[in-house]
Amino acid sequence: MRTPFNELREDVKESAMIGGLAIIWAILLVVLIVVFPPNMQAQGSRVFRGERGDGKLMALRIHYTRCENPVVLKHLISRVLPEILAEFKSATLTWDGRDWASCWIERGGYVHSVDEEGARLQSIPFLRFKDEAV
């Protein structure tokens, strides 16, 4: 038998179900953002500027695109495991007035890079890189 009380109870159940689904969707969205963060390529690049030992300026500009430079990859293949190789991203090292192709990876809060001649740059704290858009 349909009574106003029964109708009210059905409305409350439906509202609770909709609220519960909304909470489940919100939790799912948060989990997806944490597990699959938004694409870092939208950030453009970041740059570290410093001085070499001889007082000349140098810069390492890191990009968020995959490292695909064949010359740099040739040096990395002999140094890193294949599964780690895929994590390297492209970079540009400005050294002695010239731009060098480079690739980088972040480990433990530090950026590690190798240039097209196979030279490693000293590890640089990631926090020292500044957003180029600023």
Going residue by residue through the chain, which has 134 residues, state the pLDDT in tens, using 9 for 90 and above.
666 656 656 765 676 666 666 677 666 555 555 555 544 444 578 999 988 778 888 999 999 999 999 999 999 998 888 889 999 999 999 988 899 999 999 999 999 999 999 999 889 999 999 987 65
User: CB pairs under 8 A, 24+ apart, for 6-11?
Assistant: none
Q: Are residues 56 and 12 in the same domain?
A: no
The verdict on 30 and 45 lying in the same domain is no
Nearest-CA neighbor of 74 among 114, 107, 112?
114
The verdict on pTM exceeding 0.95 is no
Q: What's the CA gap between 12 and 29, in Å, rounded? A: 26
- Collect all residues with Cβ–Cβ distance below 8 Å to 125 and sequence separation of at least 6: 109, 110, 111
Domain that holds residue 86: 40-131
pLDDT in tens, 14-50: 766 666 666 776 665 555 555 555 444 445 789 999 8
**Together in a domain, 30 and 62:** no
Q: Please give the tally of structural domains in the chain.
A: 2
- pLDDT value of position 39: 44
Measure the CA–CA gap between 88 and 53, rounded to whole angstroms: 27
Distance CA 15, CA 80 (A): 55
